[in-house]
């Protein structure tokens, strides 16, 4: 497969049916859950990190996240509660949604917590550079005050959140 045919964050051997684009991501079943998790994070602060979105969606247990941060888990994907194809799609949708909200992306180095030498943590088993970067990319609200969701999206998020909560 040529590099032009690969989509950002897509796993080798995954189906083209799992691809999402900037035009189609809003219709993906994962989108409302991601939108809700991002909204809750922005209500509390100015930074959206993929690991926090995973915790907010219930796909990552906070205790397992702490185990990974302390170096007790070799790579984060090992303790996330969904398959790798879905994770790649989730990261891609998160990137599109953050762009739509005008959040600024910033790559963050995740270092092991605790005593001893500081070591960079791994997100993936393979260490694929593009996926490692996607997990470590934070999205920051550049405004001076708290984030306020545009009025045009407020009702849409509420309706989607309610629909997702009822399922």
Render pLDDT for 73-122 as a digit per residue (tens, 0 to 9): 999 999 999 999 999 999 999 999 999 999 999 999 999 999 888 999 99
What is the tally of structural domains in the chain? 1
Whether 11 is in a domain gets the answer no
User: What pLDDT is stored for residue 150 in this prediction?
Assistant: 56
Find the largest Cα–Cα distance for the chain: 49
User: What pLDDT is stored for residue 15 in this prediction?
Assistant: 44
User: What pLDDT is stored for residue 22 in this prediction?
Assistant: 80
Whether 19 is in a domain gets the answer no
Whether 20 is in a domain gets the answer no
Q: Token match 């979105």: residue?
A: 53
User: What pLDDT is stored for residue 87 in this prediction?
Assistant: 94
Mean pLDDT, the chain, integer: 82
User: CB under 8 Å to 89, separation ≥6 — which residues?
Assistant: 9, 18, 20, 28, 30
Low-confidence stretches of the chain (pLDDT < 70) are: 1-18, 145-146, 148-167
* pTM of structure: 0.77
Whether 1 is in a domain gets the answer no
Distance of CA 145 to the CA centre of its chain: 24
Print the domain residue range for 144.
27-157
Whether 46 is in a domain gets the answer yes
Whether 17 is in a domain gets the answer no
Whether 38 is in a domain gets the answer yes
Whether 77 is in a domain gets the answer yes
């Amino acid at each position: 497969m040529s590099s032009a045919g690969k989509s950002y964050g897509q796993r080798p051997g995954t189906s083209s049916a799992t691809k999402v684009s900037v035009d189609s991501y809003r219709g993906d079943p994962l989108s409302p859950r991601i939108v809700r998790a991002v909204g809750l994070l922005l209500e509390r602060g100015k930074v959206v990190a993929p690991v926090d979105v995973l915790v907010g969606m219930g796909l990552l247990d906070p205790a397992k996240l702490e185990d990974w941060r302390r170096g007790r888990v070799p790579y984060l994907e090992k303790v996330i509660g969904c398959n790798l194809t879905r994770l790649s799609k989730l990261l891609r949708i998160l990137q599109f949604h953050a762009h739509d909200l005008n959040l600024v992306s910033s790559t963050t180095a995740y270092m092991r917590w605790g005593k001893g030498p500081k070591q960079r943590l791994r997100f993936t088993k393979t260490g694929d550079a593009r996926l490692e970067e996607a997990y470590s990319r934070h999205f920051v609200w550049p405004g001076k005050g708290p984030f306020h969701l545009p009025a045009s999206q407020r009702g849409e998020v509420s309706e989607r959140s309610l629909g997702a909560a009822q399922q």
